[in-house]
Structure 1
Amino acid sequence: MTKRVLIADDDDDALSGLANLLTGLGHQVAQAACGAQALDVARQFAPDVVILDLGMSPMDGLSAARALRALPEGPAMLLVALTGWGQPQHHAMTQEAGFDIHLVKPVSIDQLGFILSMTQP
């Protein structure tokens, strides 16, 4: 089932690679290069799922997650942290910021497929 997926990452290669993968799986994908841009894109694109890198600037993924949750449609979005930060304190930080899922890079296509299957269209 097709999902509307917003991906935000300041690493161009990671962003385009994940976007191409999800597009190839049949999903509608929007991209953002930072947290602030992700917020702007989300307002227009109305994603079902938002995949955020944490280490972006000027607005990082944690701040972006909080701002996304504050949008009227924010509570319905599935927020996924996709990051190189995998220590227990990082998991606690993402949970506190409103993320639903914390994934550590690299992520497998099977993991992504399972997560996207968990959301309603």
Structure 2
Amino acid sequence: MSKRILIADDDDDALAGLAHLLSGMGHDVALAANGAQAVEVATQFAPDVVILDLGMPLVDGLAAARALRQLPTGRAMLLVALTGWGQPQHREMTQDAGFDVHLVKPISADQLFFILSMTQS
């Protein structure tokens, strides 16, 4: 089933690759280059799923997740951290910020498909 997915990453290649993969799976995809833009786009796009890199300029993924959770639709979103940060303290940081899932780059299409299957819509 098609989902509305917002991806935020400051790495253009990672952003384009993930967008291409998700679009190819039939999902409606919106993009953001940083956390501030992700929150702005989310207010208009109303995503089912938000995939955030953590180490972005301006507003990082942790601050963006906290801001997204404050939106009227924020509790219903599946927030996925997709990052190079894989230590236990990083997982604690993402959990504290309101993320539902912490994935360490790179991820496979199978992992992504499984994560997306966890959402209702």
Q: TM-score range by the shorter chain?
A: over 0.9
Q: Which residue of 2 aligns with 1:17?
A: 17
Shift of 1:120: 1.2
- What TM-score, normalized to structure 1? 0.99
* Distance in 1 between residues matched to 2:106 and 2:96, nearest whole Å: 23
Q: Secondary structure at the match of 1:2?
A: coil
Q: Which residue of 1 aligns with 2:5?
A: 5
Q: Secondary structure at the match of 1:75?
A: coil
The count of aligned residue pairs is: 121
Q: Percent identity?
A: 78
Q: Secondary structure at the match of 2:75?
A: helix
User: What are the Cα deviations for residues 41-95 of structure 1, in whole angstroms up to 9, with x where unaligned?
Assistant: 0000000000000000110000000000000100000000000000000000000
- What TM-score, normalized to structure 2? 0.99
User: Alignment RMSD, CA only?
Assistant: 0.3
Establish whether residue 56 from structure 1 lines up as the match of residue 50 from structure 2. no
Q: Secondary structure at the match of 1:74?
A: coil
Structure 2 letter corresponding to 1:98:
G
* Distance in 2 between residues matched to 1:46 and 1:120, nearest whole Å: 15
* Distance in 2 between residues matched to 1:18 and 1:81, nearest whole Å: 13
Establish whether residue 75 from structure 1 lines up as the match of residue 75 from structure 2. yes
Structure 1 letter corresponding to 2:83:
T
Alignment of 1:1-121 (within 5 A): 1-121=1-121
Structure 1 letter corresponding to 2:93:
M
Q: Secondary structure at the match of 1:76?
A: coil
* Distance in 2 between residues matched to 1:107 and 1:86, nearest whole Å: 12
Gaps of 5+ in 2: none
* Distance in 1 between residues matched to 2:17 and 2:115, nearest whole Å: 18
